[in-house]
Structure 1
């Protein structure tokens, strides 16, 4: 018998064959058969469990079962999503990724679910992994481009391209470190640039924190690439959660941060600095004894001064107030109070944002200052008592002399950020910086015209650590007219007598009561939806196209019934009870839409609306009643989606819809995802002669040279930013499609005429193509850096609306070329245009062979 304790020889071994396990094989076989049977019976949950068992016990089946497993996972995930079992859904994906950790399809789908749930950081990670696995995977590329705009916002690129701003921060940090601030915390580090400035200046210890997972990982890469990963500690957490000594060993002597938004306090700088002074920073110099002066704390920036100005601006007005009395022949008198989500008042509403942001210098139509700029507030970030007392400050009233006549549409706000006693950064509308301005739309002075010699009274407060500005009154001829009590103000030019003052008081009290009711019952619509309501051309075009179609279908119906010898009750649609007399229109527009109501107003039409919110449905019902539209001719079809017993009642005839209205273009300027799939489904649901609105979309574009688009799309130049290697890392998040453009105000040189790039036919699938080449002749010499594009939306062969029109609620988009293209006047440029699903891509080449335009 061999010596079993002897060591084996280190020779070549034969590979041990896996022992066959009959019980295991039988279980795998039966589970695989059960999975397929469950798939056939659409029991996706049980099928998924069987596949998990099979693939865990027998990994050799992975290649064979990949497609079936994916299909099962996606179907089961859809069911879990529909019933709100979100945790179970993500558990299933995690189990699937344990089996297929590099499957780009599963990774992409996981990302889509996360994005829909609002987890953008996590979604981006999955899209990025899918793209790394398969760089030519179009679905993952499209998703990553869309989410990258959320994760690494365009201002990051603008900020890093803003050399003046970067140098000022660098100099202020260098001065502070050299004066003795030897330990530094960078709050909201972003790319890590301010923390690296501190280390470069000689700080002994540098810490940084970042809440965004994407930016945290990016900062770690940047710091490591610059050889500082061993000397800068980056934490993935909010500064409010940091503690000494758990997260950093001791208090620091300097906090650097730029956690400020256009309204200064919107990113929580007050709360984070109060916490830092109490828990992370050494006490300020004012609280130190003479012997302790060498170890004091300070903040960069040291403080800020906020400025404001009243203005008139049609562009702001149409996004925040209803400015029309009719929408597509519908009287809006019964709509009640419609508000955008942005409204500042002395009594904040939880559902409202106090301000929005705009770059005033780029607003279409411009703006008119109605007052001189005024100082709204000053704050010292190195005074903790001042920071703590901000929210309890008394409401300040500022009286502003009116300098020009105009309608009061908004208050605009900007600030000067004082880095130290010598250096500052301004975010004013005339400055060439990466900053926008904060806009406080005025809702409570609808149509009120300010005049020179008037004084506008503005209240400034910080009740909840948000800066709030509210126009409350106008002083005219020595009398105060309250703006916060009445919605529609009419003011007599004559001096107010005692009797008139009493009448005005009674009127004000009546308005106050009305205002209280309206505040309680107002209906909120998004800013883009408000702009859409104000777009009369759009609704009139839809109205004309619907009237034409409905007239054609009514005539066809009459001829069909007369030919069959059947009497009809077409003359009295209100009293008609025969469902075959009705035409059916489905509006699947996103958000608040009146198109279903416009269709129902034509008579003999039953319209189905996609409006979901209860208050918005109530508005449509009131408008239907006031415009004499029978109640039974308007339905909200999404109300029935969760009710199996209350599914849509279909007409008796086999064909369903006379018209289906699709929402084709996103407000940002992109084609809606899965538009062509929706159009294919819609075509199958139309009655004979029915139509999809719109029936055709034509994409137009133009060659331009725009340094602005380059600066907003990537870090430019070969030189490192302040000597740091940042560009290669953040430019990973460069996307070729720039959205939310106002082409009319874009700073650019036009290098060609407009040209038709692509056509999407929603009614005729055979007319569509996936790629196209177009030749464009350059009209001027320059560098082609981008191709802005927009759409002509054809409701029928004759009626169209353009997303480029001045009163459009849509913005435009642009393809930004990776490498600018030099052209001379007369050169022909060949554009290779592709559309995959809903994503447009364009490549540009100078054509060596002259030729005509190709269509």
Structure 2
């Protein structure tokens, strides 16, 4: 948020104009770092109350006020605005409320409830000067039908994979639904595989935050329907929602075509085909937040319900879509190597697909897995469908498993990396413990080797996600030193295929980990690499991913065109320019499952010719 200079300028100008109109007493709801409060103080407001529920943010705001010369004027209240009392927290009612507590779905951070309470209890009712006012003044909400393969992959496991690969008939594997969280968020301009809009944008609803009746109406609840005509054929994967905010004389637009601090709200759809001319009925309910449901009016939107529907977390659905094909190929490779018909398999994956496939081919094999809520329903359905009840057992704790006598396993299957792109926490320690306690000497470990690939990139986007890049973004107010104490150097959920970046070096292998050699006396894994610079630019940091090598040279990568796993990045503490013809000394390490990458203190030496 703080890096969005356009947003900051709009609020600064709007607040300054409001103070100039006579608003001398101001309440900042959800103050965060206190930047909007600083705008009001700088404009000459007499009293500015900064309400922030987070103790950490409240203390940070206090430090920022001090650093900017407003320490004596700081009135920071560590409460929800709906808990404020007068007199006590505030000396009197205020004439101006400013807030920027808007999530991607506009209303998701309870802003309607906060503003309704402010109109009733905190804003002046009989003003002597300027009429009570809220900034932002208005909002308009828009929606559009979208087609997105990425969203679809997290919504439903494809029929082809369910029937042909898993061999589950009359079964649907779909994502869970939540009334509490009716939408997810995506930045559509960077979504993997891109997106299409089968319909034109629709203005769903408008709200005037300066009309207390309008605000209260949406708190009490309204519902309505809209008919959306498809302008082209496609798949109805979701409804995308965004909004425009009236901030003084500026309208801030959070739509898919804009680059702001907001993503778009995504309401997952049924994933059905629609044709040009088809009508989709959207049913909206706004009661504090906005929920959307669907109904198609054409036969092309109708599907036959399966005999069994299994609901799984969206990440699990996406994992199955991404891994089932490669798991089937790997199972075939392992089976062709002469795997014993009576071997014991230990599958510690989040979704034990490979272990289940190995046992399915020979029920005399035994599979042990560790149940989790994400995949329990799926495993139960698979075991029942293939009559594997006597072949599959569970273990609740790794320590207990290692202490059991006689439990020797011939195959160990693990997840080496997370869906987010990070190395799975504790994976090396787990392998070391299992090798010592309950694996046979010749046990197959899948994967057998983990290779960490990396490249140096220039990416303003990654820098902005990591820290406040400069006080210029906050219009000269000194904020960076305080907020950057919480700088996040390691970024997860990076989508390299759509991340705005420039590649400054070739891809290189940072280091590799042979899991067959991992022991209990785990050393710090480290490596130093000489990496030539291939393009000039600003070195922001290193993007990295994993290539997990399995039997027969089969590689499972966390960075592939078809894959559903994200990548990760490590940002440099001191970004700087690099030039071709130089060779960087790159230091990589892995400690407690955390990968760090940095440049040696000698940042660049002349490349050898």
Q: State the SS of the aligned residue for 2:154.
A: helix
Whether contact under 8 Å (1:827, 1:846) holds in the other structure is no
The within-5 A match list for 1:416-815 is: 416-420=244-248, 422-443=249-270, 446=271, 448-462=272-286, 464-474=287-297, 476=298, 481=299, 488=303, 523-535=310-322, 536-548=324-336, 551-554=338-341, 582-590=342-350, 592-603=351-362, 604-613=364-373, 616-626=375-385, 628-638=386-396, 654=406, 656-684=408-436, 685-717=438-470, 719=472, 721-765=474-518, 770-796=525-551, 798-815=553-570
How far has the Cα of 1:465 moved from its partner?
1.6
Partners of 1:177 and 1:849 lie apart in 2 by 58
In the TM superposition, what is the alpha-carbon distance from 1:718 to its structure 2 partner?
5.8
Task: Give the secondary-structure state (helix, strand or coil) at the position aligned to 2:484.
Answer: helix
* Deviation of the 1:461 alpha carbon: 1.6
- For 1:210 and 1:384, the matched residues in 2 are separated by 23
Distance 1:711 1:794, change over 3 A: same
Determine whether 1:331 maps to 2:155.
Answer: no
- Tell me which stretches of 4 or more aligned residues in structure 1 moved more than 6 Å: 647-652, 766-769
Q: Which runs of 5+ in 1 are unaligned?
A: 1-158, 344-348, 490-510, 555-581
Work out which of the two has the higher radius of gyration on C-alpha atoms and give 1 or 2.
1
Q: 1:721 to 1:621 in 2, by over 3 A?
A: closer
TM-score (norm 2): 0.92
Q: Distance in 2 between matches of 1:649 and 1:794?
A: 25
For 2:379 and 2:339, the matched residues in 1 are separated by 26
The answer to whether the 8 A contact 1:760-1:768 is kept is no
Describe the SS at the equivalent of 1:807. coil
**Count of residue pairs the alignment pairs up:** 601
* Structural RMSD (CA): 2.6
Instruction: Flag structure 2 segments of 5+ consecutive residues without an equivalent.
Output: none
Contact 1:413 1:438 in 2 (8 A): yes
Residue of structure 2 in register with 1:136 after alignment = none
Aligned pairs for 1:69-84 (under 5 A) are none
Q: 1:651 to 1:706 in 2, by over 3 A?
A: closer
Task: Give the Å deviation of 1:317.
Answer: 0.5
Q: For residues 618 and 713 of structure 1, what CA distance do their matches in structure 2 show?
A: 37
How far has the Cα of 1:416 moved from its partner?
0.0
Q: What's the CA shift string for 1:127-161, capped at 9, x where partnerless? A: xxxxxxxxxxxxxxxxxxxxxxxxxxxxxxxx222
Say whether 1:201 aligns with 2:201. Answer: no
State the Cα distance separating 1:768 from its structure 2 match.
7.5
Q: Compared with structure 1, are the counterparts of its residues 395 and 833 closer, same or farther at alpha carbon in structure 2 (3 Å cutoff)?
A: same
| Deviation (angstroms), 1:293 | 5.8
| TM-fit CA distance, 1:622 | 2.5
Query: What secondary structure sits across from 1:167 in the alignment?
Result: helix
- Contact 1:396–1:459 (CA<8 Å) still a contact in 2? yes
Q: CA deviation at 1:391?
A: 4.7
* C-alpha contact 1:815 1:842 (8 A) present in aligned 2: yes
Decide whether aligned partners of structure 1 residues 545 and 220 sit closer, same or farther in structure 2, where only a CA change above 3 A counts. farther
Question: Which residue in the other structure is 1:850 paired with?
Answer: 607
TM-score normalised to structure 1 length = 0.67
* Alignment partner of 1:826 is 2:588: no
Q: 1:651 Cα shift?
A: 9.1
For 1:88-124, what per-residue CA distance to the aligned partner results, in whole angstroms no more than 9, with x for missing partners? xxxxxxxxxxxxxxxxxxxxxxxxxxxxxxxxxxxxx
Q: 1:276 — aligned with what?
A: 118
| Equivalent of residue 408 in structure 1, options 199, 211, 236 | 236
* Equivalence for 1:841: 596
Higher helix share: 1
RCO higher in structure (CA 8 A, sep ≥6): 2
The residue aligned with 2:148 is 313
Per-residue deviation, 1:630: 2.6
Shift of 1:548: 4.5
Instruction: Indicate the SS of the match to 1:395.
Output: strand
Secondary structure of 1:552 counterpart: coil
Structure 1: how far apart are the matches of 2:100 and 2:329?
47
Question: Is 1:266 equivalent to 2:93 in the alignment?
Answer: no
Contact 1:759 1:768 in 2 (8 A): no
> How many angstroms does 1:407 deviate by?
0.9
Instruction: Indicate yes or no: 2:213 matched with 1:385.
Output: yes
Residues 534 and 580, structure 2, Cα contact 8 Å, conserved in 1: yes
